[in-house]
Amino acid sequence: MNLFKIAWRSIQHRGIGSFLTILSMALGIMMVVSVISIHGIVSKSFKNSRTFGYNILVGARGGEYQLTMSSVFFLAPPVENVPYEYYLAFADKEKRQREMRHSLAMVTQSHEQDSLQLASLAAGPLGAISGLGHELLAAGSEFEQMKTMQFHDRGMFDSWVHTVIPINLGDFWVDEATQSNFRCVGTKPTYFTELVLDVETERKFEFAEGRAFEEYNEEHGFYEAVIGSAVAAKSGLKIGDTIQPTHGDPNSSGSHLHETDFYIVGIMEPSGSPSDRCLFLNIEGFFLMEGHTKSIKDESVRAVAKRRRERRELEAEGEVYDDEDESTDEYVTPGPARLPIEKREVTSLLIRGEIGDDGIDSVGQYLPPQIDRGDLKATLAWTPFSPESSQEAAMAVNPVEVVTKLFASFIDPIQLALLLLTLMICIVSSISILVGIYNSMSQRRHEIAVMRALGASRTKVLMIMLSESILLALTAGVIGWVAGHALNFAMSDVIEQQTGIQMGFFDLAPSMPLAFLPGAENLPGWMSAMKVSPELMVIPGLVLLAVLVGIYPAISAYRTDVSQSLGK
């Protein structure tokens, strides 16, 4: 009979005592594994997001942690929105001119010029063909309108940035089947085409199915959506399905369901980023939903109505139109109706600055102070249409620095405390082996003496006792490891709600190089470079501790006096 079989029979013989020893150790290992795996997976998720494809985050003035957690990790609610003009301050000339065609100021100025042109043509030689004259004059008016409003040039910070992407938060989609809430993010198609997941590798989002939504689609209009991989896996949504977002947090009393259908046109590949658990809506459709617009002051609306009436009177040769029910929302360029620029807001801007040839991020150093002191407010003077209320104070942060500071201030100290706690648990668990075996020694001296009398050597008795200690540790370690992962799986919904990170039963803590272990300097180079998940080292570590604490009772058994013990 081999040593381990004898040791296992001994454990079975002391059933209750062995069971309690294994139980206490297993509970300790369960806590260790659960703490290590949860902390490791959460930390990895946050650290992976530190290599964003942008280095500046602009949003409403508040706390830098709150802005980062809401706009980078999609975990916290946004404080406030900022004017859409702040986005255009980082846009190039072409993009600004294209956006300005959807502004109240642009269309109103066009109407004023049309009125003057019609009056002039009616009195001139082209009066008989005023329609043709109107077309000729209107064709050349657009550039003058843009020039007059000073939007013919690029944005004030255009030369500083490589990419700028607006996002809007505040809506959720509720999966009735699982009662899960998923955050909706309003953004532009450039989120998928220009944003990179890692600046070093230039890796971008990929699609498992479908495509990115378009700014305007002939079939779906502005109402297309893309869903993250985690959303698709948990909800079962597929290409062609429709969703209706909920305005505000579904758990709050003020939330309500939007009566707007968005069509799923794309499902993203897993990226390991917070985007996996979000639904992305076309920002143009997002703007057109109820509760997503700024109100324009009454005097501005009346001014527009007056200009419309004058134009219509001239066109109809004296026919008068009533001012009632005049809406500024209709003042857009021909084609699909879009929300006017003056009525738009964005939650934040994801900005990738231009990095110099020397590798220095000068944008990250000099742009935030300018934004913090209010330079962006100068972009609001272009239009006479003033919103009733607007959050003009903005701030800019470097999300990489904020996350690094977050780890240094909060996460790393918590990690150290948890590691010390797990170390204490391991030590206490190992001592339980010592206590269990040592307490049984007085009852087992006769048993040991019989083995010695039957020919077992002192060394064999010593090895049997150590084998018993190792078997107790292995059994408790395996049970504790399984129980720890079962606990994580049972808590996965709570963990996902608090951190946005999904955990499966077999998810291990991220691997770490063996070089971090004590005494690793004595390991061969190839071995120290190996990476192992720290939770996979728990059981071997426990076995080592079991050997150390099992030495004392084993030596006590080794020294047992055969004649004296048999005499008892």
Q: Is residue 104 part of a domain?
A: no
Q: Is residue 209 part of a domain?
A: yes
Backbone φ and ψ for 86, nearest 5 degrees, come out as -65, -35
**Residues 379 and 430 reside in one and the same domain:** no
Q: What global pTM score does this model have?
A: 0.70
Q: Is residue 312 part of a domain?
A: no
Helix, strand, or coil (residue 63): coil
Q: Is 178 helix (H, G, I), strand (E, B) or coil?
A: coil
User: What is the C-alpha separation between 177 and 236, in angstroms, rounded?
Assistant: 10
Residue 414 and residue 348 share a domain: no
Burial 154-187 (b: 16+ CB within 10 A, else e): bbebbebbebbbbbbbbbbbbeeeeebebbbbbb
Could you tell me if 441 and 557 lie in one domain? yes
Q: How far apart are CA 166 and CA 86, in angstroms?
A: 10
Residues 411, 505, single domain; the answer is: yes
Same domain (yes/no): 381, 438: no
Beta carbons within 10 angstroms of residue 486's beta carbon:
13
503 shares its domain with 417 = yes
Same domain assignment for residues 18 and 68: no
Does any domain span residue 140?
no
The answer to whether residues 348 and 380 belong to one domain is yes
Structural domain includes residue 101: no
> 440 and 378, same structural domain?
no
User: What is the maximal distance between C-alpha atoms in the chain?
Assistant: 137
Any domain includes 145: no
| Same structural domain, 503 and 433 | yes
**Structural domains of the chain, count:** 2
Beta strand 242-243 pairing with 262-268: antiparallel
Nearest-angstrom CA–CA distance, 428 and 408: 30
Q: How far is CA 349 from CA 56, 382, 411, 423, in A?
A: 8, 21, 26, 44
**Cα dist. 320→5, 134, 522 in Å?**
104, 21, 94
Residue 470 belongs to domain spanning: 3-50+406-567
Verify that 470 and 497 share a domain, yes or no: yes
In 216-375, beta strands by DSSP E: 224-227, 242-243, 246-247, 256-257, 262-268, 278-282, 345-346, 348-353
Give the Å distances, CA to CA, from 243 to 110, 308, 556.
Answer: 38, 37, 71
Write out the two tokens for 427. 């030590």
pLDDT in tens, the chain (568 residues): 577 777 777 777 777 877 888 888 888 888 888 888 877 777 776 666 555 778 899 999 988 999 999 999 898 888 899 999 999 999 888 888 888 888 877 766 655 555 555 455 444 544 444 444 444 344 444 444 444 445 556 778 888 888 899 999 999 999 988 888 999 999 999 999 988 877 667 788 999 999 999 999 999 999 999 999 989 988 999 999 999 999 988 888 888 999 999 999 999 998 878 898 899 999 999 999 988 888 776 555 556 556 556 655 655 654 443 443 444 444 343 346 788 888 899 999 999 887 655 555 667 778 888 898 888 888 877 776 766 666 678 999 988 888 888 878 877 787 778 778 877 877 777 777 677 767 666 666 666 666 766 666 777 777 877 888 888 888 888 999 999 889 888 887 777 665 656 677 777 776 766 655 555 556 666 665 667 777 788 888 888 887 887 777 767 766 666 555 555 5
Does 172 reside within a domain?
Answer: yes
Residues 427 and 283 in one domain: no
